[in-house]
């Protein structure tokens, strides 16, 4: 019997086997440890392995999923359409390359829980380039997607009302104009401005104003279709794009908004306020080359609606005279901006205010503004100040006038002969807290002696409609020694109750009463009433627009303290009047 023995060295084989086992374990641990979900399949799309993240998200264990078709484990749909999304593994096996998921893909787990996911599928190939299977890698982007949606919403919507904001509105308007031009479609644009919102905001505070905006926006939103674009484009300004809507239909919608808002009452602390809407309506068709042109036309139409009496709709037409006036206002606005910037086109004039009784002394005058025309003539303020108000330049003009007037006083060697120099401020300036601070700084720098020579004139309408801002401003400047005159008193349907809040020094009685009191007994009675109230409250009175000796005499008889008008003094340059 013979025994044959064969021996061979298996050390290299065992070493290779151990290395392979080690690499396999390292790969398994790596795939199990990474933050992404991983699923592998064979060449037929049958699941061969899941890592723990994939198990958690699909709610299938490795043992349960192994041998199952991927489509049963990996259930994905489009989050918007809710339709099944094409399986990336099938596409990867078909084309033999890396394939990514479509946007907005949602994974539905075994229990129905949804995850927003992003993924890619890559083929597993051998050295011969044969496809052995696919590795699918995906991760949860639910939170990132939510944050992205939230950021996108915040970027395109108004935080207070939840409506579309101005930038998004203008983007949608651009698309509407493109469709109107390309497909000959007819749309409509509405520019809506709330009437009397400023009164609520100043009287009741900004929180009440915010609540009003929220309530009114909901009322208006019910009047338009969900397919229309409704936006808040400014403080109390709104815009609407009515898609595929004729001008007649749009006008009916605009009237409906006016009616519903007019019926609404805003209640605050047992006070009720009536709100209105002034609406500019513009057809959107091929005539508009830019969104800016369409918005400008709608803005002008809205302003025309306000000037026509408020709470109404103004339809834009090419021949609209009011719109032509607005275009002229734009030209004036450009000239005013240049005048402020270049400092040589405005000229300060002044008109004396004469005392009517022996107990008055010193120079009293009102500073007046003129604008140099191209031919050297002077343009009075009634021609250009409306444009200043319209295009929010009034505060710039006021700042220029106040600075130059104070500078002129500071350059004089002796101001003892000047009793009072009146300087007008616009309603916009009264409502501008930044302007308040600038005035306080300017007056403080000028000093007490100059401040006691200055009287700031505020129209009654501006003071009443901006009652909160007016009260703060008046109290602050009076502490510096500046006096306050309530200009055009009576023009705003005066309520003497406001005089208890507004600490003024002078009432300048509106010229319509002064010029009318010789022929209208009601005007005469109104002036007498104004004078009596002023005396009770210790206020001085000024009769404006005194044009005839008869009016002057009647003003004296009624006990008015001062008179102003062309009968008494033709305005002259400021340096001449105060010399």
Catalytic site positions: 236
For the residues of 431-479, what is the DSSP string, one character each? Answer: T-HHHHHHHHHHHHHH-HHHHTTEEEEEEHHHHHHTHHHHHHHHHHHHT
Quick one: three-class SS letters along 227-293? CCEEEECCCCEEEEEECCCCHHHHHHHHHHHHHHHHHCEEEECCEEEECEEEEEEEEECCCCCCHHH
Yes or no: say if 312 and 258 are a contact pair by the CB < 8 Å rule. Answer: yes
Six token digits for residue 2: 């013979």
Nearest to 369 by CA among 387, 384, 354: 384
10 Å Cβ neighbour count for 88?
Answer: 24
The gap between the terminal CA atoms of the chain, to the nearest Å, is 148
- Cα–Cα distance for residue pair 457/51, rounded to 1 Å: 79
With residue 419 as reference, give the H or E element that holds it.
strand 418-425
* CA-to-CA separations, 135 to 42, 69, 102, 116, in angstroms, rounded: 9, 14, 17, 19
- Cα–Cα distance for residue pair 468/543, rounded to 1 Å: 27
For the residues of 356-372, what is the DSSP string, one character each? Answer: SSTT--SEEEEEEEEEE
Residue 538 DSSP symbol: T
| Phi, psi at 546, each rounded to 5° | -75, 110
Q: Where are the beta strands (DSSP E) in 534-579?
A: 540-543, 562-563, 572-573
- Cα–Cα distance for residue pair 293/20, rounded to 1 Å: 73
């Amino acid at each position: 019997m013979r025994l044959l023995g064969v021996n061979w060295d298996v050390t290299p084989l065992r070493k290779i086997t151990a290395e392979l086992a080690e690499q396999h374990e390292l790969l398994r641990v790596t795939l199990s440890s990474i933050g992404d979900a991983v699923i592998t399949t064979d060449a037929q799309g049958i699941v061969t392995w899941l890592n723990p993240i994939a198990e958690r998200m699909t709610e299938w264990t490795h043992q349960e999923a192994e041998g199952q078709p991927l489509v049963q484990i990996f259930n994905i749909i489009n989050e918007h359409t809710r339709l099944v999304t094409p399986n990336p593994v099938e596409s990867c096996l078909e084309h033999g390359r890396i394939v990514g998921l479509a946007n907005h893909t949602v994974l539905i787990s075994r229990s129905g829980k949804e995850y927003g996911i992003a993924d890619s599928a890559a083929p597993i190939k051998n050295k011969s380039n044969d496809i052995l299977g696919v590795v699918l890698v995906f991760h949860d982007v639910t939170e990132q997607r939510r944050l992205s949606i939230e950021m996108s919403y915040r970027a395109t919507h108004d935080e207070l009302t939840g409506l579309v904001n101005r930038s998004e509105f203008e983007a949608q308007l651009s698309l509407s104009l493109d469709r109107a031009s390309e497909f000959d479609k007819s749309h409509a644009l509405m520019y809506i401005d709330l009437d009397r919102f400023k009164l609520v905001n100043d009287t009741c505070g900004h929180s009440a104003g915010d609540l009003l905006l929220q309530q009114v926006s909901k009322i208006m939103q019910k009047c338009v279709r969900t397919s229309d674009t409704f936006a808040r484009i400014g403080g109390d300004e709104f815009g609407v794009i009515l898609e595929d809507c004729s001008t007649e239909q749009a006008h009916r919608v605009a009237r409906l908004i006016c009616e519903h808002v007019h019926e609404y009452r805003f209640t605050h602390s047992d006070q009720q306020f009536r709100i209105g809407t002034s609406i500019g309506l513009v057809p959107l068709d091929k005539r508009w080359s830019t969104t800016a042109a369409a918005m400008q036309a709608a803005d002008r139409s809205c302003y025309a609606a306000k000037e026509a009496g408020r709470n109404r709709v103004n339809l834009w037409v090419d021949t609209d005279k009011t719109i032509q006036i607005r275009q002229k206002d734009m030209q004036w606005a450009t000239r005013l901006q240049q005048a402020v910037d270049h400092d040589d086109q405005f000229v300060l004039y002044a008109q004396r205010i004469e005392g009517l009784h022996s107990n008055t002394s010193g120079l009293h005058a009102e500073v007046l503004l003129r604008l140099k025309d191209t031919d050297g003539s002077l343009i009075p303020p009634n021609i250009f100040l409306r444009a200043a108000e319209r295009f929010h330049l009034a505060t710039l003009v006021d700042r220029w006038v106040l600075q130059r007037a104070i500078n002129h006083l500071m350059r004089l060697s002796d101001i003892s002969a000047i009793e009072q120099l009146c300087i007008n401020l616009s309603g916009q300036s009264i409502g501008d807290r930044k302007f308040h601070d600038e005035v306080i700084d300017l007056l403080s720098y000028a000093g007490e002696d100059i401040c006691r020579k200055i009287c700031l004139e505020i129209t009654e309408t501006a003071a009443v409609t901006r009652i909160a801002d007016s009260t703060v401003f008046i109290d602050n400047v009076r502490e510096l020694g500046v006096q306050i005159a309530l200009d055009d008193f009576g023009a705003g349907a005066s309520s003497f109750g406001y005089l208890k809040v507004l600490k003024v020094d002078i009432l300048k009685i509106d010229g319509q009463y002064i010029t009318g009191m010789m022929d209208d007994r009601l005007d005469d009675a109104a002036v007498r009433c104004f004078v009596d109230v002023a005396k009770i409250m210790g206020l001085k009175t000024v009769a404006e627009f005194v044009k005839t000796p008869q009016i002057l005499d009647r003003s004296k008889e009624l006990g008015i303290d001062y008179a102003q008008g062309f009968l008494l003094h033709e305005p002259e340059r400021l340096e001449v009047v105060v010399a």
